Amino acid sequence: MFYGYTGTILRVNLTNGKISKEALDKKMAEDFVGGRGLASRLLCEEIDPQIEALSPENPLIFGTGPLTGTGAPATARYVVVCKAPLTGTIACSNSGGFFGPEIKFAGYDALIIEGESPEPVYLWIKDERVEIRPARVLWGKFPSETESSLQKLTHPSAKIACIGPGGEKLSLMSGIVNDNYRIAARSGVGALMGKKKLKAIAVRGTGGINLADTEEFWKASMDMHAKITGDPVSFGSFRAYGTTSLVNLINEMGAYPTRNFKSDTFEGAANTSGEAIAEEILERNRACFACPISCTRVTEVKKGPYKGRGEGPEYESTWALGALCGVSNLEAVAKANYLCGDYGIDTISTGATIACAMELFESGALTEKEIGFPLNFGDEAAMVRAVEMIGEREGFGDILADGSYRLAERYGHPELFMGAKKLEMSAYSPRVFQGMALQYATSNRGACHVRGNTVAAELYGVPRYMPPEVLEQKEEMVRRPFQNSTAFVDSSGICLFTKFAITHREICALLTPATGIDFNFDRSIVQGDRIWNLERMFNLRAGFTAADDKLPARVSEPSPDGPRAGSRAILQNHLQTYYQLRGWDTEGRPTPSKLEELGLEDWWNVCREHD
Amino acid sequence: MFVESMINITVKLSIDLRCYRPSLKINESMSIAVPDDTTLLELLTNILQIPAHAVAIPIVNGEKCKLEQSLKKDDQVAFWPPMGGG
Q: Which has more pLDDT, A183 or A603?
A: A183
Counted residue by residue, chain B has a size of 86
Rg, C-alpha atoms of chain B: 13
> Mean pLDDT, to the nearest integer, of A148-172?
98
Distance CA A181, CA A299 (A): 12
Provide the strand spans (E) within A70-221: 78-83, 90-95, 110-114, 121-126, 129-134, 159-162, 176-178, 182-184, 198-204
User: What is the percent of chain A with per-residue pLDDT over 90, rounded to a whole number?
Assistant: 95
Place A239 in a pLDDT band, splitting at 50, 70 and 90: confident
- Do the Cβ atoms of A93 and A175 come closer than 8 Å? yes
- Closest Cα in chain A to B57: A460
- CA–CA separation, A10 and A23 (whole Å): 9
User: Looking at residues A358-370, what average pLDDT do you find?
Assistant: 98
CB proximity list for A358: less than 8 A, separation 6 or greater = A259, A260, A325, A326, A375, A376, A377, A379
Q: Do A253 and B81 touch (CB under 8 A)?
A: no
- Alpha carbon distances (Å) from A597 to A44, A601, B61: 19, 8, 47
A462 interface with B at CB cutoff 8 Å: yes
Q: Chain A contact for B19, CB < 8 A? A: no
Q: What is the dihedral of CA A430, A431, A433, A434, to 10 degrees?
A: 90
Instruction: Domain A8-204: give its CATH superfamily.
Output: Aldehyde ferredoxin oxidoreductase, N-terminal domain (3.60.9.10)
The torsion of the CA quartet A248, B82, A555, A576, rounded to 10 degrees, works out to -170
SS (H, E, C) A458-507: HHHCCCCCCCCCCCCCHHHHHHHHHHHHHHHHHHHCCCHHHHHCCCHHHH
Q: At what angle do helices A330-343 and A380-392 cross, to 10 degrees?
A: 0
Average pLDDT (A498-515) is 95
Nearest to B59 among A252, A269, A462 (CB): A252
- Report d(CA B37, CA B32) in Å as an integer: 14
pTM above 0.95, yes or no: yes
- Given a cut of 60, whether residue A354 has pLDDT beyond it is yes
pLDDT surpassing 60 at residue A607 = no
* CATH T-level fold of A424-608: 1.10.599
Residues of chain B short of pLDDT 70, as ranges, are 1-3
Nearest to A610 by CA among A594, A590, A582, A583: A590
Question: What does the pLDDT read at residue A609?
Answer: 59
Write the pLDDT tens digit of every residue in A263-320: 999 999 999 999 999 999 999 999 999 999 999 999 999 999 999 999 999 999 999 9
CA-based nearest residue in chain A for residue B84: A233
List of E strands, A2-98: 8-13, 19-23, 60-64, 78-83, 90-95
Q: Which residues of A236-263 are buried (b: 16+ CB within 10 A; e: fewer)?
A: bbbbbbbbbbbbbbbbbbbbbbbbbbbb
Q: Is the pLDDT of residue A603 over 90?
A: no
Q: How far is A541 from chain B (nearest CA, A)?
A: 32
Q: Above pLDDT 70, what percent of chain A?
A: 99
What is the model's pLDDT at position A164?
Answer: 98
Q: Is the pLDDT of residue A495 over 80?
A: yes
What does the pLDDT look like over A417-426, one tens digit per residue? 999 999 999 9
Under DSSP, the state recorded for B12 is E
**Segment A397-406, tens digit of pLDDT:** 999 999 999 9
Say whether pLDDT at A194 is over 90: yes
Pick the residue of A250, A252, A280 with the most B CBs within 10 A to test the interface with B by mutation.
A252
Question: Would you say residue A605 has pLDDT above 70?
Answer: no
Helix, strand, coil abundance in chain A, percent, nearest 5: 45, 15, 40
In 3-state terms, what secondary structure has residue A511?
Answer: helix
Half-sphere exposure of A30 (CA within 13 A, CB side): 8
For chain A, say whether B22 makes contact (Cβ under 8 Å): no
Identity of the residue in A234, A249, A500 whose CB atom sits nearest the CB atom of B14: A249
Given a cut of 80, whether residue A438 has pLDDT beyond it is yes
The answer to whether A237 contacts B27, with C-beta atoms less than 8 Å apart, is no
Q: Which residues are CB-neighbours of A453 under 8 A, at least 6 positions away?
A: A428, A436, A439, A482, A486, A496, B86
Query: Tens digit of pLDDT for each residue in A125-134?
Result: 999 999 999 9
Length of chain A: 611
Residue A182 has pLDDT above 90, yes or no: yes
Contact residues, chain B, for A449 at CB < 8 Å: 86
Size of interface A-B (CB pairs under 8 A): 99
Element (H, E) at A606: helix A604-608
Mean pLDDT of A252-271: 98
Rg of chain A in Å (alpha carbons)? 22
Nearest to A236 among B57, B78, B81 (CB): B81
Q: Does domain A238-417 have CATH number 1.10.10.10?
A: no
Beta bridge partners of B9: B32
Under the banding of pLDDT at 50, 70 and 90, the label for residue A254 is: very high
Which pLDDT does position A606 carry in this prediction?
A: 60
Lowest-confidence pick of A101-105, A255-259, A262-266, B1-5: B1-5
Q: Which of B29, B45, B44, B38 is nearest to B7 (CA)?
A: B38
Domain residue spans in chain A?
Answer: 8-204, 238-417, 424-608
Cross-sheet strand order for the sheet of A78-83: A19-23, A8-13, A110-114, A60-64, A78-83, A90-95
A243, A461, A465 member nearest B85 (Cβ): A243
Is the minimum CB–CB distance between A229 and chain B shorter than 8 Å? Answer: no
Residues of A in contact with B17 (CB under 8 A): none
Contact criterion met (CB < 8 Å) for A270 and B82: no
The whole-number average pLDDT for the span A588-610 is: 82
Is the minimum CB–CB distance between A470 and chain B shorter than 8 Å? no
The helix (H) or strand (E) run that includes residue A297 is strand A296-301
A257 CB within 8 Å of a chain B CB:
no
Instruction: Return the pLDDT at A17.
Output: 98
**How many Cβ atoms sit within 10 Å of the Cβ of residue A355?**
30
Four-residue CA torsion sign, A439, A444, A446, A452:
negative
What pLDDT does residue A236 have?
Answer: 85
The pLDDT tens digits of the residues spanning A367-390 come to 999 999 999 999 999 999 999 999
Q: Which residue has the higher pLDDT, A324 or A241?
A: A324
How far apart, in whole angstroms, are the C-alpha atoms of residue A355 and residue A326?
Answer: 8
Local structure of residue B71 (DSSP, 8 states): P
What per-residue confidence (pLDDT) applies to A102?
Answer: 98
Phi/psi zone of residue A179: left (φ > 0), alpha (ψ -120 to 50 degrees), beta?
left
C-alpha dist (Å) from residue A540 to A43, A536, A546, A610: 15, 6, 9, 8
CB distance B14–A564 less than 8 Å?
Answer: no
Residue A608 has pLDDT above 80, yes or no: no
C-beta separation of A151 from A159 below 8 A? no
Using CA atoms, how far apart are residues A48 and A42, in angstroms rounded to an integer?
12
Residue A559 has a pLDDT of 96
To which H or E segment does residue A423 belong?
strand A423-424
Report whether A600 contacts A533 (CB < 8 A).
Answer: yes
Measure B62 CA to nearest chain A CA, in Å. Answer: 4
State the Cα–Cα distance between residues A321 and A473, nearest whole angstrom. Answer: 34
Which domains are present in chain B? 6-80 (3.10.20.30)
Give the ipTM of the model, two decimals please. Answer: 0.94
pLDDT given at position B57: 95
